[in-house]
Amino acid sequence: MRYYYLDYPDNFSWNAAKSISNGCGTDGWKGKIVPETMYGLNISIACDIHDFDYYFGMDWADKTEADNRFLDNLCRIIKHESKWWNCWLNPLRRIRAKEYHLAVKYFGSNAFIAGKEGFNNG
């Protein structure tokens, strides 16, 4: 399935993304407490794309691009998938999207470099 309103990297594949992604959040128990929804709106697709970006990213510029694409996709989901009868939730969802973005921006470095041998952390 392809969601044409979302932003994808050029080499994106749903099959690869599904095999790579652990959903929203990190591996382990910490990831289990991170919701896959924002006030009832499923955002797991954006998390799958973000995990794909992290897996194939090679440098800090790729991480920054992945994190920015994640925020952009969260906002696109909020705009596209929200129904008129629950649009009053959208301001809260946008705040939550920014919180998710800040979390990956400031705390996602270990997840980004995981499994990358010889990654230049300088």
SS3 assignment for 9-63: CCCCCHHHHHHHCCCCCCCCHHHHCCCCEECCEECHHHHHHHHHHHHHCCCHHHH
pLDDT at 1 over 60: no
pTM for the structure as a whole: 0.89
Across 13-17, 29-33, 85-89, 106-110, least confident range: 29-33
Is residue 33 pLDDT above 80, yes or no? no
Residue ranges per domain, the chain? 37-113
Mean pLDDT calculated for residue range 35-55: 93
DSSP state of 114: T
Condensed to tens digits (0 to 9), the pLDDT of residues 54-111 reads 999 999 999 999 999 999 999 999 999 888 877 889 999 999 999 999 999 999 999 9
